[in-house]
Chain A
Amino acid sequence: MAEKKKAPAKKTEKKQDMKKEAPVKQEVKKQAPAPAAKAAAPGATTKQEARIGVFICHCGTNIAGSMDIPAVQDYAKTLPNVAYVDNYKYMCSMPGQSVINKAVKEQKLTGVVVAACSPRLHEPTFRTATKEAGLNPFRFEMANIREQNSWVHMHDREGSTAKAKDAIRIAVAKAALLQDLFPKSVPVEKAAMVVGAGVAGMQAALDLASAGIKTYLIESDMSIGGRMSQLDKTFPTLDCSQCILTPKMVDVGRSQNIELMTWSEVDSVEGYIGNFDVTIRKKARGVMTPAQAEAKGIVGGGCNGCGDCENVCPVIKPNEFEVGMKPRKAIYINHPQVVPLIYTIDFKACVKCGLCVTACGPEKRAIDLEAKDEFVKVKVGTAILATGYDIFPIEKKEEWGYKRHENVITSLEFERLICASGPTGGHLVRPSDGETPKRVAFVLCAGSRDNTGVGKPYCSRFCCMYSLKHAHQIIEKIPGCIPYIFYMDIRSFGKAYEEFYYRIQDEGAKFIRGRVANILEDPATKNLHVFADDTLLDRPVDMEVDMVVLAAAIEPKPDTNRTRKLFGVSCSQDGWLLEAHPKLNPCGTTTAGVFLAGVCQGPKDIPDTVAQAEGAASAASIPIHKGEVELEPYFATCIEEKCAGCGMCVNLCPYSALALIEKDGKKVMQVTEAKCKGCGTCGGFCPGGAIWMNHFATPQVVAQIDAFLLGGEQ
């Protein structure tokens, strides 16, 4: 960089075009031979004169509508190193790509610049086109004139035209200095991991296992099944949730290819696609499985799920699976159908009295009150995150009185109350007096579509439909009971959903269009007064009901944030995990080899969840079946004659990819390419300029800066 200081200061603006040419060239000569020591290509290519082709895309009117394409094209022709300029309506289309192909061959181009959309969208497309034309794909550079230009300066034709010219000039400057790069292929571990064993995680794991891939299924709870196992019926078919879920749970438990780890969490993740080293924390369960007992020499021992321990345990706690409406012991299972059927000790509650150890008996000896967390290391090629959701703490919306008024419950509590295996055996009763309600109000959008800052701004997507289902269930189960549904809009968007909505209307449910303003309790009867504004009849409503069910919003699980950071996955503003592309890559993430399934990516119902899980499983199995993946060759290389061997970079590298070695009697840095992810943190720091970052090398970046600031029209 030092050489930059000198000359340009005196130059007048007039000569910029030539000017920017000169320093750029000088730098090339100075810097390029060094990395040439690594690969023969760079040295050779810099001697050859750069011939760049610029291809400008109209993107229909997306780009052409906001800027003067002919002016941009004329300008591009004047740029140094530019040998050919063309434009086309849709550059990414087949005819568009053949324009590139033809020009590269006929004009003997050495580099390609496409001015179009974002490289995050179509860089792979045009790299392939460049490759097919016979150039190294890394001789391609993109100028973003859509997402970061025409779409954001729609009413400033002059400004966006000037910006497009600059963007092309910057891209051409870089393209002239690009080198041939060769992606490195690495083998992919023939194993996958799924984090979270709700219906999404289970489906993904089953699919991967069926495809012959060893799959580690990690679940932080004691049993698999997730939210769906808490539900009673599913809309719109009224399938019993347990009936369709438990066979899947059994399949998961039985599958030879699935290694199920319940009561476990991901502790750390290292590596990259194809080779993730994951450490899993197996939380102390205090109870051994038959296999674990056998490993400890207790033949025929281990937990068989008999429940003798539970009977004698003196500690009583609320059962989280039943949303606190049923007691459990300190040694417990969530419900009788858990997979795996192994008891778990809640060590926060356990008083270590030892009664359970005695009850378990000398043959099984399954209980170990001194159990500690264990750490297991596994290697996987790809991973799927399916971490699910939690219910928004609806007591934050104080006006509805949840947790203040006894007979205000959430819809998840309703599911458990109406479920035959729930705390009341399927009888819907008022928490205050155990009476059967005759009038039940449902409050939709409870905390969803809420712009007050207390609730969530998004639609939780399945509340409308399950509330319709709840209405159906009480009409069916409690003769004479009337459901009153307070709604903003009924969003019945799925297959056979609208028909289900009509059916519930016909069955006698009452619909009141209005958001509930306030719910007050009658202290004597514990009945509730629901206040709302009926916006269809334009009059205020004060309705006395026996029970209120809040269709509470959903939010990401609190530990989702920790998990996503381990895998390097971003989240959107509301905390849901961010997909690689909302339309074209809804299962992928920005971390290669990590995929998303289910509600952790955003609210969705069971059919969508299962569909996404199958998509994620398919995507995750592709690299594994291919057997190898190509890593982008953006790694750092050391320019050994410049390296002073100070070793500062070694400590900066977050991946321990750098090391100091002795070479020809002096210390130099050496890069382990397989570990290097190409962030460039070392290259940004190196005081001697001795680190060459492939594709983002210092001369290339400086050329871009110079092209913008020294090479423009003034």
Chain B
Amino acid sequence: MADEEWKPKILGMVCNWCSYAGADLAGGGRIQYPPDIRIVRVMCTGRLDQLFVLKAFADGADGVLISGCHFGDCHYLEGNYKAAKRMFMVKRLMKSIGLDDRRFRMTFVSASEGAKWGKVVTDVVKTVKELGPSPITEIRK
């Protein structure tokens, strides 16, 4: 169902200190990756309510990426641990409602990992493109 022209809608929610900085570094390094992601910045992934992710899927997102600091590196000590716990819950919930949980991913990209950010986004876009448009969008049509 995914034809050549189809552009997935992927929401990225990233922390200010690690992944957003890592994404900026990717920019500085001119590391090229697909433009199918839109970023919402928060101070810490700990800020992210699991409902934000579900809201995004309800709104028709084809994929959601959460990215924070590596464990032990959180600017606020342990926000990323708490985010990770919540996001495991989201994954379970997605499976239980029949939404492929590969559409949702949590990664850890530090402020010095510009190249990794490029790889992560490329991979997320590839995965979501393989999965095709979100079934929620189909239903809403």
Chain A residues close to B by CB (< 8 Å): 1, 4-5, 8-10, 118-121, 144, 146-149, 151-156, 159-160, 162-163, 166-167, 170, 565, 568, 570-573, 578, 590-591, 634, 652, 654-655, 677-681, 683-685, 693, 696, 698, 701-702, 704-706, 708-710, 712
Are A146 and B27 interface neighbours, CB within 8 A?
yes
Tally of B interface residues using CB under 8 Å: 56
5 contacts between A and B (CB under 8 A): A151-B28, A153-B34, A590-B111, A679-B46, A679-B76
B42 interface residue per 8 A CB criterion:
yes
Residues of A within 8 A of B30 (CB): 151-152, 154
Q: Which of B1-23 contact A (CB under 8 A)?
A: 7, 9, 11, 16-18, 20-21, 23
Residues of A within 8 A of B59 (CB): 8, 705-706, 709-710
Q: Name 9 extra pairs, CB < 8 A, besides A654-B78, A678-B43.
A: A119-B41, A570-B73, A570-B110, A655-B77, A684-B47, A684-B49, A685-B49, A702-B55, A705-B55
Are B111 and A705 interface neighbours, CB within 8 A?
no
B75 interface residue per 8 A CB criterion:
yes
User: What are the interface flags for B105-132 relative to A under an 8 Å C-beta threshold, 1 for contact and 0 otherwise?
Assistant: 0000011110000100000000000000
Taking CB as reference atom, which chain A residue is nearest B75?
Answer: A568
Taking CB as reference atom, which chain B residue is nearest A148?
Answer: B23
Other-chain contact of A1, B31, B40, B55, B140 (Cβ < 8 Å): B55
Are B73 and A705 interface neighbours, CB within 8 A?
no
B93 interface residue per 8 A CB criterion:
no
Are B140 and A9 interface neighbours, CB within 8 A?
yes
Residues of B within 8 A of A684 (CB): 46-49, 82-83, 86
Other-chain contact of A680, B7, B20, B33, B47 (Cβ < 8 Å): B47
Task: Take A147-B27, A152-B33 as given contacts and tell me if A705 and B52 are in contact as well, using a CB distance cutoff of 8 Å.
Answer: yes
Taking CB as reference atom, which chain B residue is nearest A146?
Answer: B27
Residues of B within 8 A of A681 (CB): 44, 46-47, 76, 78-79, 82
Are A680 and B46 interface neighbours, CB within 8 A?
yes
CA distance A42 to B68 in the complex (A): 30
Are A680 and B42 interface neighbours, CB within 8 A?
yes
Task: Take A146-B27, A681-B44 as given contacts and tell me if A654 and B76 are in contact as well, using a CB distance cutoff of 8 Å.
Answer: yes
B65 interface residue per 8 A CB criterion:
no
Taking CB as reference atom, which chain B residue is nearest A695?
Answer: B43
CA distance A166 to B61 in the complex (A): 14
Task: Take A681-B44, A702-B52, A710-B60 as given contacts and tell me if A590 and B32 are in contact as well, using a CB distance cutoff of 8 Å.
Answer: no
Other-chain contact of B35, A153, A571, A679, A709 (Cβ < 8 Å): A153
Are B20 and A152 interface neighbours, CB within 8 A?
no
Residues of B within 8 A of A146 (CB): 27
CA distance A152 to B118 in the complex (A): 9
Q: How far is the CB of A12 from chain B (nearest CB, A)?
A: 8
Are A155 and B32 interface neighbours, CB within 8 A?
yes
CA distance A533 to B14 in the complex (A): 49
Are B76 and A590 interface neighbours, CB within 8 A?
no
Are A573 and B113 interface neighbours, CB within 8 A?
yes
Are A654 and B79 interface neighbours, CB within 8 A?
yes
Task: Take A154-B30, A590-B21, A710-B60 as given contacts and tell me if A565 and B73 are in contact as well, using a CB distance cutoff of 8 Å.
Answer: yes
CA distance A167 to B112 in the complex (A): 24
Taking CB as reference atom, which chain A residue is nearest B28?
Answer: A147
Are B112 and A578 interface neighbours, CB within 8 A?
yes
CA distance A130 to B31 in the complex (A): 32
Task: Take A679-B47, A684-B83 as given contacts and tell me if A701 and B73 are in contact as well, using a CB distance cutoff of 8 Å.
Answer: no
CA distance A149 to B39 in the complex (A): 10
Taking CB as reference atom, which chain A residue is nearest B62?
Answer: A709
Residues of B within 8 A of A712 (CB): 9
Task: Take A151-B30, A684-B83 as given contacts and tell me if A9 and B58 are in contact as well, using a CB distance cutoff of 8 Å.
Answer: yes
Other-chain contact of A683, B34, B38, B47, B83 (Cβ < 8 Å): B47
Q: How far is the CB of B119 from chain A (nearest CB, A)?
A: 12
Taking CB as reference atom, which chain A residue is nearest B41?
Answer: A119
B90 interface residue per 8 A CB criterion:
no
Task: Take A148-B27, A154-B32, A701-B52 as given contacts and tell me if A679 and B38 are in contact as well, using a CB distance cutoff of 8 Å.
Answer: no
Q: How far is the CB of A273 from chain B (nearest CB, A)?
A: 13
Q: How far is the CB of B118 from chain A (nearest CB, A)?
A: 7
Taking CB as reference atom, which chain A residue is nearest B9?
Answer: A709
Are B40 and A698 interface neighbours, CB within 8 A?
no
CA distance A685 to B79 in the complex (A): 11
Residues of A within 8 A of B76 (CB): 654-655, 677, 679, 681
Task: Take A154-B32, A590-B75, A652-B82 as given contacts and tell me if A704 and B43 are in contact as well, using a CB distance cutoff of 8 Å.
Answer: no
B100 interface residue per 8 A CB criterion:
no
Residues of A within 8 A of B35 (CB): 149, 152-153, 156, 159-160, 162-163
Taking CB as reference atom, which chain A residue is nearest B57?
Answer: A709
Residues of B within 8 A of A162 (CB): 7, 35
Residues of A within 8 A of B140 (CB): 9-10
Are A705 and B56 interface neighbours, CB within 8 A?
yes
CA distance A166 to B79 in the complex (A): 28
Taking CB as reference atom, which chain A residue is nearest B33?
Answer: A152
Are B11 and A708 interface neighbours, CB within 8 A?
yes
Are A159 and B78 interface neighbours, CB within 8 A?
no
Are A4 and B40 interface neighbours, CB within 8 A?
no
Are A152 and B55 interface neighbours, CB within 8 A?
no
Are B40 and A705 interface neighbours, CB within 8 A?
yes
Residues of A within 8 A of B78 (CB): 654, 681
Residues of B within 8 A of A572 (CB): 112
CA distance A4 to B52 in the complex (A): 11
Are A144 and B33 interface neighbours, CB within 8 A?
no
Q: How far is the CB of A121 from chain B (nearest CB, A)?
A: 8
Ranked nearest first, the 9 interchain pairs of A and B with the lowest CB-CB distance are A147-B27, A680-B47, A681-B46, A679-B76, A159-B35, A709-B59, A572-B112, A151-B27, A679-B44
CA distance A10 to B51 in the complex (A): 20
CA distance A568 to B52 in the complex (A): 27
Are A166 and B21 interface neighbours, CB within 8 A?
no
Residues of A within 8 A of B58 (CB): 4-5, 8-9
Residues of A within 8 A of B42 (CB): 680, 696, 701
Are A590 and B24 interface neighbours, CB within 8 A?
no
Task: Take A118-B24, A570-B73, A710-B60 as given contacts and tell me if A153 and B32 are in contact as well, using a CB distance cutoff of 8 Å.
Answer: yes
Residues of B within 8 A of A685 (CB): 49, 82, 86
User: What are the interface flags for B67-81 relative to A under an 8 Å C-beta threshold, 1 for contact and 0 otherwise?
Assistant: 001001101111100
Residues of A within 8 A of B83 (CB): 684
Q: How far is the CB of B48 from chain A (nearest CB, A)?
A: 5
Residues of B within 8 A of A655 (CB): 76-77
Residues of B within 8 A of A590 (CB): 17, 21, 75, 111
CA distance A678 to B76 in the complex (A): 9
CA distance A679 to B15 in the complex (A): 10
Residues of A within 8 A of B20 (CB): 118, 120
Q: How far is the CB of A451 from chain B (nearest CB, A)?
A: 15
Are A120 and B21 interface neighbours, CB within 8 A?
yes
Residues of B within 8 A of A710 (CB): 59-60
Are B48 and A118 interface neighbours, CB within 8 A?
no
Are B38 and A163 interface neighbours, CB within 8 A?
yes
